[in-house]
Amino acid sequence: MKSHQINFFMTPEDAVELQQYINLQGLVVVATSNTVCEPKIIETFTNIKDLKIYFTLPKFLKDIKMNYFENRDEYVVIDYSSTLIEYIASRYDKESNEMNKGRLYYKTVLYNETDEEKQNDEDFLIVAKNLFNWFKKHFKDTKINSRHTTKRTMLWAKQNNVKLAIN
């Protein structure tokens, strides 16, 4: 398998627990874009507006590739060739009264500029696998159509009559 993915529903309180685990493992949080051609480190991701961020080990920061988008005047992370764990937050949409699924995702294989495959770093793969194992164990309470969901999320959705979007 060239990648691994977990889909989930998560409350802000669950995200705080994930942030604590990320910190304990020595991972850094990286924004998807920056105004300069270097990764932007974020101290916490529990109250940011970005839907997508990345986790990585500090030693891989120098290897993160970025592309410049002139129309946006910013540099954006090239994730298919960088040693990163993608995190897309589970978000509540007030307008539709639905909670959208989040995602954790990492690649075991990276691609260079000519689309040649390269095995991802072994240290990174161990840390990513450990994160996924922790996540599955910690958020194992309920699964809805293959999405990990905590009791806290289920209770919040029920109390607030929120639909969990499964598509």
Q: How many CB atoms lie within 10 A of CB 126?
A: 10
Strand order, beta sheet including 98-100: 91-93, 98-100, 163-164
12-57 pLDDT tens trace: 888 899 999 999 999 999 988 888 888 889 888 877 666 789 999 9
Q: Where are the domains of the chain?
A: 3-164
58-98 pLDDT tens trace: 999 999 988 899 998 998 888 888 999 999 988 888 899 99
Residue 150 has pLDDT above 90, yes or no: no
The pLDDT assigned to 124 comes to 95
State the alpha helices, DSSP H only, in 2-43: 12-24
Question: What backbone torsions phi and psi does residue 161 show, to the nearest 5 degrees?
Answer: 55, 45
Residue 123 has pLDDT above 60, yes or no: yes
47-57 pLDDT tens trace: 766 678 999 99
Type of residue at 35: T
* pTM score: 0.88
Band of the pLDDT at 145, cuts 50, 70, 90?
A: low
Q: What is the mean pLDDT of the chain?
A: 87
User: Which among 99, 100, 86, 94 has a CA at the least distance from the CA of 54?
Assistant: 86
CA pair distance 105, 4, nearest whole angstrom: 6
Query: Which residues have C-beta within 8 Å of that of residue 84, sequence separation ≥ 6?
Result: 30, 54, 55, 56, 60, 64, 77, 106
